[in-house]
Structure 1
Amino acid sequence: MILKILTHISRVLVGLLFIYSGFVKLIDPIGSQYKFQEYFSEDVLNMEFLIPYTLPFAILLIIIELVLGVMLLVGYKPKLTVWSLCSLNLIFLFLTWYSYVYNKVTDCGCFGDAVKLTPKETFYKNVIFMVFIIILILGLKHIKPLISNKIGAIKTYATVFISLFITYYVLHHLPIIDFRAYSVGTDIVKAMEYTEDGEIGPIHDFEIGTENGDQLEEMISKDKAMLILITTLEKANKEGLIEISKTATKAKLKGYSIYILTSDIMMADVIYDNNTKKLDAFKSKYNLPYTFGSCDEKAIKTAIRANPGIITVEKGVIAGKWNWTDTDDVTLK
């Protein structure tokens, strides 16, 4: 009787946790991709040969996590579900243990950007949930379909279909819910301030570095500014650069000050060697005769999940964000 009660409690807790964890990552799979790139880097697991496959790997893992949570709650194929959850949690347990012991990845991304946990907190969270999963293994016979196997199957396949649709949508646009520091409505100045306990603000390493110094303060003071963010010029979508150029032209006519941020090494040549040949050629090719500035690559990737992407800022407050695929929807005042 006690095992049956514990099994049902564990079923609900584990099922809901995996659904929540899967969902907050599903709406931003690129964030998980970046996290796996960090894990597979030379300084961490030294598995760089896997880096080109991190996006499909992240998507697969996210959907499996979400679907297993649903399967557990509806009681569909309980044996397969519970043992799969056990295997998945063992992977998470290893990664979080590695982060905790070696302090290599300070945020495992288990809950995307929705909930931030320290490596220690994340590791012990997985230890606790492994206890619940062991209870599920011991109480397998008590996990029955809520209604029927047929309904369980329908809900499981519906979850897969909906997950794939959401993934497609957010990859071609932007995350449905933005949990990051650069969400619409954020006051950049306030977000860069230190907290009362001395912690660094949620926005940091953000700058518009030029040969004339950091132009961030100037940008924040503008009534209307447009930031065009490009992680690296080489990897930027070429069609996207053309579309963004058209939008930037419209914005300029409406009085927007336009700044282009990139982490490209080309900016180092401009700032430190005063070599503008590559930059001038790029500006001419894509009709982007605006202020270019260097910015930390991680900051750019955090600010927007697009390459290139657009952020509009009004008096220091983020007013809008768009993937280059949505340039027709950019709101200009």
Structure 2
Amino acid sequence: MKYLVHISRVLVGILFIISGLIKLNDPMGFSFKLEEYFSAGVLDLPFFEPHALAISVFVVIFEVLLGVMLLIGFRVKFTVWSLLLMIVFFTFLTFYSAYFNKVTDCGCFGDAIKLTPWESFTKDIILLVLIIVLFVGRKHITSFLGPVMKTIVVAIALLLSGIYAYHVLNHLPEIDFRPYKIGANIEEGMIVPEGAPQAVYDYAWRFKTSEGEKIVITQGDYPTVDGEFIDVETTEVQAGYEPPIHDFTIEQNGEDFAPSLLQEPKLVMVVAYDLYKSDPVFDEIKKTTDLALQNHYKVIGMSASGPELSDKIVSDHNLNFKFYFTDETALKTIVRSNPGVLVLHRGTIEQKVHYNDLDELVFTNDRPNALDLNLKKRLDSVMVLDQKYRENHTPEDWQKQALIDSANIEFVEKVIAMYGYPGKSLVGDETSTAAWYVIQHSNKIDQYIDLIKEAAEKDELPFRLYAMMLDRQLMQQGKPQLYGTQGRANFIGTPDEVAFIWPIENHEEVNKRRKEAGFSNTVEEDAKRIFGEGFEYKPLTIEEAKAQSEIDQQKQ
């Protein structure tokens, strides 16, 4: 019995210390796991959720202390009773979670070691047996340290644990076990390797037959049963491979911009899963993001809060970036700070900081001039106004948009007179297109087409935008376009009668020219984007296009 107690003592003590230290490295992450347990779908103890972080810190420090106390033989009766009560509770919890499939990861070892619910339960059963051995043979737990020395050791362990918990909560975990650690590439983390195991499901098909209800189980195939189908239940019997990063999106208006944003060479992400809790910090966030913008970084916000709140945050703090929607769980996993800031290069995380460490961020500038943030903000507002009524087709809305367009072109002309074309080096990549849109929607294309061409050749705005403006100028002059970006439609009758792509010079080569100009789709695909999936591109001559336009005008 004495040897069994010694073996159990070492195993349990070391395991509790390791488990506690792993969670102590990331008490915020453990608090998220506790919130999951306290939720209505699991233990239904919502009154504990606001206190999850405090409970998390207490539990992980207590876990470390119990391991230390057991190894040095301090207050044996209290230690063994505490270990027994704790393991009984967690054994029940892991069994409940596994049996009812409530929580897929117990969080016992944080993100360092992932255990399935049944693996967690098995681990707790083994620990329970070892702790029962300790409880029965507690008289054999002795120490070579004196009472004073044991007290000092426990006090030092408590002090160090408290200091470490305070540090990681006010900065970030010292060791990052998550897939969003510095150096990780987000896109690579989402890849499913070729030949990876696929999930296997049992399908329980229920039918109403002449002999009563009948259930047939298959692994996907619809069974042949002489009866009326009622319903089907699906059960996962074998989990498939799940990439480290999954369900990661950066959405706005229902569109996922993650693929394009993760290709940005200089991207700053402001991650705030709950903007209600992070609002006071955004005055400092503004200073940091403005500095990033001046150094030609693209800055985005990512939050699970709704657009009403995010727009209010942007307005209240005069932020020069907009927010996208991302799942709350993903945001909590990305960074243990609300808000936190990441710097990425083509999807690879290069820097990641807590909001208390914003001054540690380093922004490199590979362009000579800093951005004019005041001009950027004014042009962003112009861009919003440029699209305000454009999607509507009522005469009243077109009249309102015409008034806006008139004011916009007047402002843009003043900007051009003062700065030249306001491109990437002056207002950043995203805002560099604002003046182009205003000119494109004005009657001044002839006046500014050479300026647009020069800006495109200097990489101050995408070359494809110059191509689109050139096509519009050629169409307005009654000449064939080059890139097939312009079409006409009067929204009368069927699309084939009133909608067409304006004639293209040497149309057999148009897709080659489009690719060279930076377009990602063909003229046929673009035509469907403009006029709908049912539209089929047909090359026309100038004479045919003019004749069609005359017919459409007569119909109007």
Match of 2:262 in 1: 220
Counterpart check, 1:297 vs 2:328: yes
**Equivalent residues in 2 for 1:53-202, closer than 5 Å:** 53-195=51-193, 196-198=196-198, 199-202=241-244
Give the conservation status (yes or no) of the 8 Å contact 1:230–1:307: yes
The 3-state SS of whatever aligns with 1:228 is strand
Q: Quickly say closer, same or farther: Cα 1:281–1:88, change in 2 above 3 A.
A: closer
C-alpha spacing 1:108/1:282, structure 2 compared with 1 (3 Å): same
Match of 1:205 among 244, 247, 268: 247
User: What stretches of structure 1 of length at least 5 have no aligned partner?
Assistant: 267-276
Cα deviation 1:31-56 (Å, max 9, x = unaligned) = 11111111111111111111111111
The within-5 A match list for 1:259-298 is: 259-266=300-307, 279-298=310-329
Q: Which amino acid in 2 is paired with 1:300?
A: L
Q: Which amino acid aligns with 2:293?
A: K
Q: Would the alpha carbon gap of residues 206 and 154 (structure 1) be closer, same or farther in structure 2, given more than 3 Å must change?
A: same
* Equivalent residue, structure 1, for 2:354: 323
The question of whether the paired residues in 1 share the 8 Å contact of 2:314 and 2:322 is answered with no
Aligned 1:303-314 pairs, distance under 5 A: 303-314=334-345
Mean alpha-carbon deviation: is it higher for 225-234 or for 282-291?
A: 282-291
1:241 paired with 2:282, answer yes
Which amino acid in structure 2 is aligned with residue 259 of structure 1? Answer: I
Paired residue secondary structure (1:321): strand
* 1:74–1:152 Cα contact (<8 Å) kept: yes
Distance 1:288 1:316 in 2: 23
The answer to whether the aligner puts 1:252 opposite 2:250 as a matched pair is no
Choose from 27, 35, 38 the match for 1:37. 35
User: Aligned equivalents of 1:120 and 1:126: distance in 2?
Assistant: 10
Contact 1:205-1:295 within 8 A present in 2 as well: no
Alpha-carbon distance between aligned partners in 1 of 2:65 and 2:279, rounded to the nearest angstrom: 32
* Equivalent residues of 1:225, 1:256 under 8 A apart: yes
Give, in angstroms, the shift of residue 218 of structure 1: 1.5
1:16 matched to 2:14: yes
SS in 1 for 2:79: helix
Unaligned residue ranges in structure 2 (runs of 5+): 199-240, 365-556
Displacement of 1:205: 1.7
Structure 1, residues 114-156: CA drift from partner, whole Å, max 9, x if none? 1100000000100011111111112211111132222221111
Structure 2 distance, partners of 1:320, 1:59, is 27
Q: In structure 2, the residue corresponding to 1:235 is in which secondary structure? A: helix
Contact persistence 1:33–1:54 (CA under 8 A): yes
Residue in structure 2 matched with residue 272 of structure 1 by the alignment:
none
Q: Which amino acid aligns with 1:73?
A: L
Partner of 2:548: none
Q: Alpha carbons of 1:9 and 1:278: their partners in 2 closer, same or farther (altered >3 Å)?
A: closer
Which residue identity does 2:182 align to in structure 1? Answer: V
> Counterpart of 2:270 in 1: which secondary structure?
strand
CA drift of 1:113 comes to 0.9
What one-letter code is carried by the residue in structure 1 that aligns with 2:306?
I
Q: In structure 2, what is the Cα distance between the partners aligned to 1:98 and 1:280?
A: 42
Q: Is the 8 A contact 1:193 1:200 kept in 2?
A: no
Give the count of matched residue pairs: 320
Q: Is the 8 A contact 1:312 1:318 kept in 2?
A: yes
Local SS of the residue matching 2:342: strand
- CA–CA separation in structure 2 for the residues paired with 1:132 and 1:237: 48
Contact 1:237 1:307 in 2 (8 A): no
Looking at structure 2, the residues matched to 4 and 296 of structure 1 have their Cα atoms a distance apart, in angstroms, of 53
* Residues 238-296 of structure 1 deviation map (CA, whole Å, 9 limit, x = unaligned): 1x211111100111111211111010122xxxxxxxxxx65444322212221321000
% identical aligned pairs:
41
Cα 1:24–1:80 change in 2 (3 A) is same
Higher relative contact order (CA 8 A, sep 6+): 1
Q: In structure 2, what is the Cα distance between the partners aligned to 1:188 and 1:248? A: 22
Q: d(CA) in 1 for partners of 2:279 and 2:111?
A: 25
SS in structure 1 of the partner of residue 277 of structure 2: coil
Q: Which moved more, 1:285-294 or 1:311-320?
A: 285-294
* Aligned mates of 1:135, 1:200 — CA distance in 2: 39
Give the deviation of 1:100 after TM superposition. Answer: 0.8
User: Is contact 2:19–2:108 with CA below 8 Å preserved after alignment?
Assistant: yes
Residue aligned with 1:178, SS: coil
TM-score, normalised with respect to structure 2:
0.56
Counterpart-to-counterpart distance in 2, 1:233 and 1:33: 19
Match of 2:455 in 1: none
- Aligned partner of residue 320 in structure 1, secondary structure: strand
Letter in 2 for 1:261: M
- Partners in 2 of 1:204 and 1:63 — Cα distance? 32
- 1-side partners of 2:309 and 2:133: how far apart? 61
